[in-house]
């Protein structure tokens, strides 16, 4: 007996200080196993949460928001090397 996989609609909430952004469910309404956040600021702490529901019309409800997943983005290497070269020229 083969089992059909459930397709989920998910909404991501991304927060940085007082800035908040929601990734619309339609941007994630595909068969995906991961989602890459792009255009984030370097060396910045972001808190992300997710809420999902069954993608089939009339099936299920939105889940509660997940716990915050908090992570700092890496430093901007270009910016760091520019600052270092400016300091060494002084």
12-46 burial string, b = 16+ CB within 10 Å, else e? bbebeeeeeeebebeebeeeeeeeeeeeeeeeeeb
- Is 2 part of any domain? no
**Which residues span the domain enclosing 36?**
8-89
Whether residue 1 is contained in a domain is answered as no
pLDDT in tens, 76-90: 766 554 444 444 444
Total count of domains within the chain:
1
**Residue-wise pLDDT tens digits, 23-57:** 777 777 666 677 777 788 889 999 999 898 887 87
Q: In the predicted model, what is the mean pLDDT of residues 17-25?
A: 79
Q: Would 37 be classed as within a structural domain?
A: yes
Task: Give the CATH number for residue 57.
Answer: 2.60.40.10
**CA-CA-CA-CA torsion sign (48, 17, 19, 79):** negative
Banded model confidence at residue 4, pLDDT cuts 50, 70, 90: low
């Amino acid at each position: 007996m083969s089992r059909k996989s459930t397709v989920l609609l998910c909404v991501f909430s991304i927060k940085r200080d007082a800035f908040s952004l929601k990734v619309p469910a339609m941007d994630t309404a595909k068969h995906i196993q991961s989602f890459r956040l792009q255009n984030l600021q370097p060396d910045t702490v972001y808190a992300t949460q997710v809420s999902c529901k069954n993608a089939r019309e009339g099936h299920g409800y939105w889940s509660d928001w997940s716990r915050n997943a908090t992570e700092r983005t890496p430093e901007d290497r270009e910016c760091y090397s520019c600052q270092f070269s400016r300091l060494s020229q002084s």
